[in-house]
Amino acid sequence: MAYKKDSDLEFLREIPSEELDVLVELLTKRY
């Protein structure tokens, strides 16, 4: 997964790992 800006990663650091895993799963299913 590629990110345009480093700032796009800032919000990921605030997300609990459990929720992040769910988010990644949704993104991978979408693309």
| Locus of tokens 């800032």 | 10
In this prediction, residue 8 carries a pLDDT of 64
Contact in structure between 5 and 11 (CB atoms under 8 Å): no
Residue-level pLDDT at 6: 64
- Residues 1-31: pLDDT tens digits? 555 666 666 776 777 788 888 888 988 887 6
pLDDT of residue 23: 84
Residue 20: partners with Cβ closer than 8 Å, 6 or more residues away? 12
> What pLDDT is attached to residue 1?
53
pLDDT computed for residue 10 by the predictor: 74
Separation of alpha carbons 31 and 28, rounded Å: 5
Q: How high is the pLDDT of residue 20?
A: 81
Query: What's the pTM value of the predicted model, to 2 decimals?
Result: 0.40
